[in-house]
Structure 1
Amino acid sequence: MSPFLSGCLDTLHEGGVGLDSATALCSKLAALKASPLESLEEEPSHFASFDKPEDWMNLSVALCCMLMAATASGLTMGVVSLDELELRVKERNVNESKTERGYATRILPLIRLSPRHQLLVSLLLLNAIANEAMPLFLDKLVPPWAAILISVTAVLFVGEIIPAAVFTGPAKMRIAALLSPLAWFIVMLSSPISYPLGWALDRLLPHAEGLPTRHEVKALVDVQREMAAEHSASAGEAFHEDEADLVRGALSLSQKLVVDVMVPLEDVFALPADAAMDLATMKQVIALGHSRVPVYWGPAKSSITRFIHVKDQIMLTPADATPVASLRFHDPQWVGPEDSLFALLNTFQEGAPRELLSPFQPLPGRPVPFL
């Protein structure tokens, strides 16, 4: 019996307290008196000597927590940040290497996982658990101040900076594809928590499909040319100016109308019906390079109703001065000023005439348009 307990019993007994009551009371006082001292003695104040298996086990678990935190952080930045559109383009790009296309094929199911936020929640959950558990095991190996210092340093450098540099670097797709099975395992393991949270986040923050518009695609063509010039890309990688014009024109075709491409009547080259196909006229037609030439009757070009094909006139003799009115004519196709150019393209593909006329009343003071 300790001196404190013995003295306590004697004092209470002399005061008339029963033996059982005195023993219980003194035991509680002794426990309260000893508990702060015992906790102070148990608090580690030195570094572990690693002479016990428990020390090595705590160190191994702390390192595993550090590795899990780094992996979860890296996957969060390297996989979740990948653009689905970019991956789908790489997957279908026949000029891309087979390896890169394989990487995109392996990553896409992760990006398109439903709920969309489940992958993010799973990785953040693992990262939080690993970061919170690591100090608990370090605290058994080093003093509290050292455990805090090591944990903060490890989280900053090993858990954030290094994974960010590695998982977002040039090999990010390769690393993400190689670790995709691990990501699936994390998702399945945390699904009881991550699935409902991901579902709720999908309802609160719906995922917006990043479908590029026509204007964005046209802007992308210009950006590609600018970046190719800045990085001195080879001629095969950059768009030529003619290619860029074709792409921009094709993307604008469905939004343009006949009125947008009309030529002012004053700028149209046309032949009067009473003219003759002499040497001067034929030279003029050849110099302009038109395959079709409109013909008008009367003094004004606004009476254009028919065309001649230049190729039909190759057998003419300039000395004969054949009248234009006696040549073979072709009737045009009449279109409205608000007809779509895309619809006209489909009409041309069906074999319709290539000559178009549009009856269009000009605004006061403006020339009569012609197509």
Structure 2
Amino acid sequence: MNVEWWRIVIAVCLVFLSGLFAGLTLGLMSLDLVDLQLAQESEDEEEAKCAKRIYPVRKKGNLLLCTLLIGNTAVNSGLSILWADIVGGILGFVVSTLAILVLGEIIPQSVCHRYGLKVGYYTVPIVRIFILLFFPLSYPTSRILDWFLGREPLHRYSKRQLKSLVKMHGPNLEDTTDGSVPGLSPEETELLGSALEFAQKKVEEIMTPLEKVFMLDENSHLNFKTLTLIFQSGHSRIPVYSGTKDNIIGILFTKDLVLIDPDDDITLKTVLSFFHREIQFVFHETTLDVMLKEFKSGRGHLAVVYKVNNEGPTDPFYQNIGIVTLEDVIEEIIGSEIVDETDVYPNNATEEKVWRKRKIDMEVLKMFDSGAHLEDRLSHNEVLVVASYLCHNISAFSSSIISYDILRHMLESCQVVEFHEDTKEFREMSPSNNVAHLVFKRGVPAVEAILIIYGKLKITAGSEGFISEVGPWTLLGIRALLDEIYAPDFTAEILEYPLRVIKIHRRWYRQALKRSSESLKEVTTDHSL
């Protein structure tokens, strides 16, 4: 059987074109428009270049589809006819079928499905040529499809689907065998997931209940004690109530207190009436996205949460139930708690408190209390009495060790502390002292000796817990002045209020010893001369 060679060449070209149309139909049409848009912003320059070249062609989805299908149908029909002329009969049918199936469908579609971007990048010019060639037939057909089906919609993901995508790209990502697509870190996964969910949450879920809020009564006097409580709370905005805590009438900004003199003892109500800070109220079912917009509007970063109270026989009424801050909303967005140095609770769902040792000692703060300066040192007459007592009754202060004048100067520098009846404020702000005031604690190092002026202490000593009482003119912890490291073997707690004591620090005592020794040497030198 004589077969013209040109028929073979045409048949081979048709097989190639059949594979091209079939592969591009699957490869290009499987590329989602959203994926192509994302690929254009890829960090992989090669991927971004391919996506930018393919996107204008792929965007006209129905026109591209009609062009490829028309070309594929025409080529396959021509190939079947040509193989029938070359081989004929059943053999031609079998050969054409196998050629179209294997060379024109299976192989090219497998390649284009795996390497769709790269194949599409290099074949876009060829596709544009075929679009022009088949335009008279493909364009009307694509317009009919557009009219019936509409243009190809962009694939949109719901928030739940987006969160699933985030999880899929998280730490459990297993499909990146070549390492080309690094997964998200656990922190990034949590942050993105929380950001997608926060708009569905309500302020009631994240608010701080009123019973956990640091608040002040409008009739409070802004004296040193109140300002100290404000300082210890660590808050920049403090709700102010009248009568009961659910009756919030104002917000105090701590910066409003910059020019306040504690000695003026003015009331908090006066400060509120001067600044007129706006109170922002929000319903408990408000979603966090709405709350965030309110905070961004500049009205404030703290809002009072209220709800309708239908309980009881009375008519329904609005009731304040908590507060919500910008920090609370941000914590929900990032998916973790921001526990700063002033937070009392790590989150609003737990009763466990976060207590830290503040870097500023409360004894240092008392230096700013003008009232305290009048009472935290001994008067001149008291200095004389105490110096005489120590000099004649305590060997460590005898005139042979410390001169009387230097002892008086030392006592003038020593701090005097007066303890009054334990208060609720003291217990709330000092949880470690949620018992009677402790002057000494067994096993805790001390650097000061204590001389009682008036009041009584209960002493619990030794492992047997022997209990005794001591009163005025008792000196405790003398070893703290003599030893480099001293930890008392007893606990001293206040038994009788008020208690007034003198604190003699080891540093002052050592300096007094040194000065006395130097004075004695000077006197000895003078006599020798």
Fold conserved (TM > 0.5)?
Answer: yes
* Alpha-carbon distance in 2 for matches of 1:73, 1:229: 32
* Alpha-carbon distance in 2 for matches of 1:304, 1:232: 60
User: Offset at 1:256?
Assistant: 5.7
Counterpart position of 1:208: 153
When you count strand as a share of all residues, which structure comes out higher? Answer: 2
Say whether 1:197 aligns with 2:161: no
Letter in 2 for 1:139: A
* Alpha-carbon distance in 1 for matches of 2:178, 2:87: 55
Counterpart position of 1:336: 282
Structure 2 gap ranges (5+): 313-318, 325-529
Q: Spell out, residue by residue over 1:274-320, the C-alpha distance to the aligned partner (whole angstroms, 9 max, x if none).
A: 5954878865x35xxx554434333x32023334456888999xxx9
Counterpart position of 2:112: 167
Task: Check conservation: 1:264, 1:367, Cα contact below 8 A.
Answer: no
Aligned with 1:336: secondary structure?
strand
Counterpart position of 2:321: 368
Query: What TM-score do the two structures reach when normalised by structure 2?
Result: 0.50
Counterpart position of 2:5: 56
Structure 1 gap ranges (5+): 1-47
Q: 1:80 aligned to 14, 29, 34, which one? A: 29
Counterpart position of 2:420: none
Aligned with 1:210: secondary structure?
coil
* Alpha-carbon distance in 2 for matches of 1:188, 1:98: 30
Change (3 A) 1:368 1:69: same
Query: What TM-score do the two structures reach when normalised by structure 1?
Result: 0.68
Structure 1 residues 63-212: aligned runs within 5 Å: 63-91=12-40, 93=41, 95-113=42-60, 116-169=61-114, 171-206=115-150, 207-212=152-157
* Alpha-carbon distance in 1 for matches of 2:178, 2:210: 44
Aligned with 2:19: secondary structure?
helix
* Alpha-carbon distance in 2 for matches of 1:292, 1:249: 27
**More displaced stretch, 144-153 vs 305-314:** 305-314
Q: Spell out, residue by residue over 1:313-361, the C-alpha distance to the aligned partner (whole angstroms, 9 max, x if none).
A: 8999xxx9x9994896673531332666445545544543212224432
Aligned with 1:192: secondary structure?
helix
Task: Check conservation: 1:225, 1:239, Cα contact below 8 A.
Answer: yes
User: Offset at 1:222?
Assistant: 2.5
* Alpha-carbon distance in 2 for matches of 1:227, 1:110: 36
Percent of matched pairs sharing the same residue: 25
Task: Check conservation: 1:361, 1:368, Cα contact below 8 A.
Answer: no
User: Offset at 1:107?
Assistant: 0.8
User: Offset at 1:72?
Assistant: 0.2
Task: Check conservation: 2:304, 2:322, Cα contact below 8 A.
Answer: no
* Alpha-carbon distance in 2 for matches of 1:216, 1:58: 54
Change (3 A) 1:118 1:251: same
Q: How many residues align?
A: 307
Letter in 2 for 1:218: K
Task: Check conservation: 1:72, 1:123, Cα contact below 8 A.
Answer: yes
Task: Check conservation: 2:198, 2:288, Cα contact below 8 A.
Answer: yes
Letter in 2 for 1:180: V
When you count helix as a share of all residues, which structure comes out higher? Answer: 1
What CA RMSD, in Å, does the superposition of the two structures yield over aligned residues? Answer: 3.8
Higher relative contact order (CA 8 A, sep 6+): 1
Letter in 2 for 1:108: Y
User: Offset at 1:172?
Assistant: 1.6
* Alpha-carbon distance in 1 for matches of 2:271, 2:104: 82
User: Offset at 1:78?
Assistant: 0.5
